[in-house]
Structure 1
Amino acid sequence: MTTTQAEPTASDSGAKATARFKADKTAVAGTPKERVDLLAREVLDAVHATIRRHNVTYAEYNALKAWLISVGQDGEWPLFLDVWVEHVVEEVATTHRKGNKGTIEGPYYVPGSPECGSNGTIPMRDNESGTALAWTGRVTSTDGSALGGAKVELWHADADGLYAQFAPGLPEWNLRGTFTTDDEGRFEIRTIRPAPYQIPTDGACGKLIAAAGWHAWRPAHLHVKVSAPGHELLTAQLYFPGDEHNDDDIASAVKPELLLDPQAGPDNTESVSYDFVLDPSGI
């Protein structure tokens, strides 16, 4: 696959993330009114407490209103929530697990990526930039039994920090693929090492980052979703040691258990080994 690429804009990537969310996610139906009342009131109470504690002015309040409006206009609610809120939801939702640690999904997941077998190369352009990365691993249950036929969905940014389907000029399924484990639960994936990147800063989220004096960087990472019948879906990101933003990731998504251990090979190649242990569902 060959193509050209250009710099994405916040409004374009935000609109695509919003459209993808609407297409793939469904609202929680049947939530009891008492639960909605509880959560809504506590969130509002926290906002009210912040206003009182810090003597928020009308000028600051109006700036907040203008910013919230721009978040919606730029289509950046998925980006805002996934960067600054999702990591706590993930933490709470997975405290019971005995298997692998997970982390946030982020706004750039797309289902239905090409099938690549148990031993394959992720779809990529001819002469894709970046260090070649060979990843071997195994998927098992918490009792140690192999999970043959488990799915490992992999997606990640390219060497410029861009994601296919969310940046212009990239092939549709560039660096997106689904791998299926063999009878022993094993898989082998060939891809390239992704680059660190900044989240889009030319929209509403970028304005918040600038106003607060934060940085916009995410460390280099591989996204995965690992699934098998009768087991809980694991969503994770795998990181590379030595990245300067592992300790101050803008999305607060890095965990020690998710760090890889790359081994240098010949001709600008690396190899990693990383396994997954899935929790049985219904516990």
Structure 2
Amino acid sequence: MTEIVTDTAAASGAAATEQFRSRQGSGVPGADTQRVDTLVTELLTATHDIIRRHKVTYEEYNALKAWLIRVGEDGEWPLFLDVWVEHVVEEVAGESREGSKGTIEGPYYVPDAPALPAEAALPMRQDETGTPLVFQGQVTSVDGSALAAAKVEIWQADAAGYYSQFAPDLPQWNLRGTVIADESGCFKIRTIQPAPYQIPTDGACGSLVATAGWHPWRPAHLHLKVSAPGHRLITTQLYFRGGEHVDDDIASAVKPALILDPKPAGSGNDHEVTYDFVLDRA
């Protein structure tokens, strides 16, 4: 396994928190008092049940309190929620979909990535390392009709497991782009195959992972948001068959329908893969 040096939890957490706040804006949606009462009451009841069943001690309670304080101090609430909670929220949100499968967004999405034509290379450094990958496909509606000018937002880690804007010394839009599909809904993106990576392990979440005896790894993946007028946006991740941690993703986000099977392209070490997206009507 390639050793990957991650950015600090504090720096990554601060960037993720800032991105989340900027996207949420200053408005707070109106709260349904009865629903808040129901959800919070059930959450607390479940917590109380765990305490009673496992005879939680004051030492354990105080350790939990100290850890929760540290999560906030490290800015790791986006990481904690995205790794251990979001996959269930996504499961509920996507249970009525007829089209392609979605999965978690994760903490590293940045909106407004540079617009690119239907056939394009993602922005990358001149000496970008990693196996070249051609990722191509078509965007259609559930009735099979092509969705011209569908928007394919894509972002990924580099071959060392880093995301631009969340790690130092990377160009702002490295391996990020917004590809506009052609009149047939087709796209062809040249990039590199990303690497598996660890979630930050020097903060509160890393402490939880170590104390619980878990591993901190996510399998290599491409992130995507695919949208078209009159259709439901889909957020997803695509993984690589045979890759490390596809079967034991720390974020529990892998689904069989999201596993790619790259094939050799040309006479070199390049890979190519085709994956089509089917969008539900809004």
* TM-score, normalised via structure 2 length: 0.96
Query: Shift of the alpha carbon at 1:135?
Result: 1.2
Q: Which amino acid aligns with 1:217?
A: W
Counterpart of 1:249?
A: 249
Query: Structure 1 residues 192 and 25, CA, compared in 2 at 3 Å: closer, same or farther?
Result: same
> Could you tell me whether the CA contact under 8 Å between 1:136 and 1:188 is conserved in 2?
yes
| Structure 1, gaps ≥5 residues long | 1-5
Cα offsets for 1:90-118 (capped at 9, x unmatched)? 00011000000000000000000011110
> Could you tell me whether the CA contact under 8 Å between 2:196 and 2:244 is conserved in 1?
no
In structure 2, how many angstroms separate the alpha carbons of the residues matched to 1:247 and 1:135?
A: 22
Query: Shift of the alpha carbon at 1:25?
Result: 2.1
Q: Which amino acid aligns with 1:12?
A: A
In structure 2, how many angstroms separate the alpha carbons of the residues matched to 1:70 and 1:19?
A: 18
Counterpart of 2:43?
A: 43
Secondary structure of 2:191's counterpart equals: strand
In structure 1, how many angstroms separate the alpha carbons of the residues matched to 2:137 and 2:14?
A: 35
> Could you tell me whether the CA contact under 8 Å between 2:196 and 2:219 is conserved in 1?
yes
Counterpart of 1:222?
A: 222
In structure 1, how many angstroms separate the alpha carbons of the residues matched to 2:17 and 2:135?
A: 32
In structure 1, how many angstroms separate the alpha carbons of the residues matched to 2:124 and 2:268?
A: 19
Q: Which amino acid aligns with 2:176?
A: R
In structure 2, how many angstroms separate the alpha carbons of the residues matched to 1:138 and 1:72?
A: 42
Q: Which amino acid aligns with 1:184?
A: S
1:275 aligns with 2:276: yes
Could you tell which deviates more after superposition, 153-162 or 28-37?
Answer: 28-37
> Could you tell me whether the CA contact under 8 Å between 2:6 and 2:199 is conserved in 1?
no
Pairwise mapping of residues 94-105 of structure 1 onto structure 2 (< 5 A)? Answer: 94-105=94-105
Counterpart of 2:11?
A: 12
Q: Which amino acid aligns with 2:70?
A: S
In structure 2, how many angstroms separate the alpha carbons of the residues matched to 1:210 and 1:55?
A: 23
In structure 2, how many angstroms separate the alpha carbons of the residues matched to 1:28 and 1:178?
A: 28
Q: Which amino acid aligns with 2:226?
A: V
Q: Which amino acid aligns with 2:18?
A: A
Counterpart of 2:134?
A: 134
Q: Which amino acid aligns with 1:259?
A: I
In structure 1, how many angstroms separate the alpha carbons of the residues matched to 2:109 and 2:182?
A: 24
Query: Shift of the alpha carbon at 1:268?
Result: 1.4
Pairwise mapping of residues 1-283 of structure 1 onto structure 2 (< 5 A)? Answer: 7-26=6-25, 29-265=29-265, 266-281=267-282
Counterpart of 1:3?
A: none
Cα offsets for 1:238-266 (capped at 9, x unmatched)? 00000131111000000000011100122
Secondary structure of 2:116's counterpart equals: coil
| Structure 2, gaps ≥5 residues long | none
Query: Shift of the alpha carbon at 1:28?
Result: 5.4
In structure 1, how many angstroms separate the alpha carbons of the residues matched to 2:248 and 2:75?
A: 25
Q: Which amino acid aligns with 2:139?
A: V
Cα offsets for 1:24-79 (capped at 9, x unmatched)? 12565122100000000000111000000000000000000000000000000000
Secondary structure of 1:67's counterpart equals: helix
- The percentage of counterpart residues that share the same residue type is 65
Query: Shift of the alpha carbon at 1:227?
Result: 0.5
In structure 2, how many angstroms separate the alpha carbons of the residues matched to 1:229 and 1:67?
A: 44
> Could you tell me whether the CA contact under 8 Å between 2:149 and 2:182 is conserved in 1?
yes
Q: Across the two proteins, how many residue pairs are aligned to each other? A: 276
Could you tell which deviates more after superposition, 26-35 or 155-164?
Answer: 26-35
In structure 2, how many angstroms separate the alpha carbons of the residues matched to 1:147 and 1:238?
A: 21
Q: Which amino acid aligns with 2:9?
A: A
In structure 1, how many angstroms separate the alpha carbons of the residues matched to 2:238 and 2:18?
A: 26
Give the aligned CA root-mean-square deviation in angstroms: 1.0
